[in-house]
Structure 1
Amino acid sequence: MRPTLTHLALHVPDLDACIAFYQRYCGMQVIHQRPGKGTRIVWMSEPGKEHQFIFVIMPGGQDRHLASDDYSHFGFALASREEVDHVAAMAAQDGCLIWPPRDEPYPVGYYCGLRDPAGNYLEFSFGQPLGPGSEQMPIP
């Protein structure tokens, strides 16, 4: 048996705020929605990856209150340091930046962190052995 990771499902306190956040910061799109849990269940994906990995978001969750030293997060790769800086600047303006851009030795790279409307943390990185351009990088 060899399972494949296909989705992550989240209960969130404000479904529409989370949809807007993942559209704005992650470029994800709603690819499916249906009635459920008293309102609706939404599937979101990066364009072109609808058959590989999705977020399923559902209403009814509670706001997560992660500690400042809790590094639990969803990781998104970007194509350049400038893109990391751009996301960080947008997040600072929107009040959801939690880790300003920082540079750490390989394989961590250059990254920043955001908090979504449900309290989940997201990392946006460049230079990790995952994501754009990583095919040439060895994984330590």
Structure 2
Amino acid sequence: MRPTLTHLALHVPDLQACIDFYHQFCGMRVIHERAGKGSKIVWMSEPGKEHEFIFVIMPGGTDRNLPDNDYSHFGFAVDSRESVDAVALQAERAGCLIWPPRDEPYPVGYYCGLRDPAGNYVEFSYGQPLGPGSEAMPIP
């Protein structure tokens, strides 16, 4: 048996704010919603990846209240350093930028970090060995 990671499920304090955040910053869209135990359950995915990986978000969570130096996060790859800068600028204007763009040695690359409405951190990176801009060397 070889398991495959298919989804991440999160309880969030404000469902609509999280839907809006992941649509605005990550390009994800709602692909399914249903009633569930007195609330609405929403599935979100990147276009074209609906059968690979989804976020399942449900109301009822509490704010994570992570400190700025906590690097727990969801990671999204973008296609250029300029895309990292553009996301950071958009996030700064929206008041949710927590890590301004910075460069780190391989395999970290160039990245910035945002705080979603539930308090989760979301990284946007270029130059990691996962996604656009990745090095052609294997991960040890």
Alignment TM class, shorter chain as reference: over 0.9
Q: Distance in 1 between matches of 2:131 and 2:80?
A: 11
Q: Aligned letter for 2:108?
A: V
Equivalenced residue count is 140
CA RMSD in angstroms comes to 1.1
Letter in 2 for 1:89: L
- 2:108 aligns to what? 108
1:139 aligns with 2:130: no
Q: TM-score, normalised by structure 1?
A: 0.96
Q: Residue type of the partner of 1:103?
A: D
Counterpart of 1:63?
63
Name the counterpart of 2:13.
13
Give 4+ residue runs of structure 1 displaced > 6 Å after superposition: none
Structure 2 distance, partners of 1:87, 1:72, is 19
Unaligned runs of 5+ in 1: none
CA distance in 1, matches of 2:54, 2:15: 16
The 5 Å alignment of 1:38-117 reads 38-117=38-117
Q: Distance in 2 between matches of 1:21 and 1:76?
A: 14
CA distance in structure 1 between the aligned counterparts of 2:40 and 2:11, rounded to whole angstroms: 11
Provide Cα deviations, 1:73-102, integer angstroms capped at 9, x if missing partner.
000000000000000000000000000000
CA distance in 2, matches of 1:133, 1:110: 10
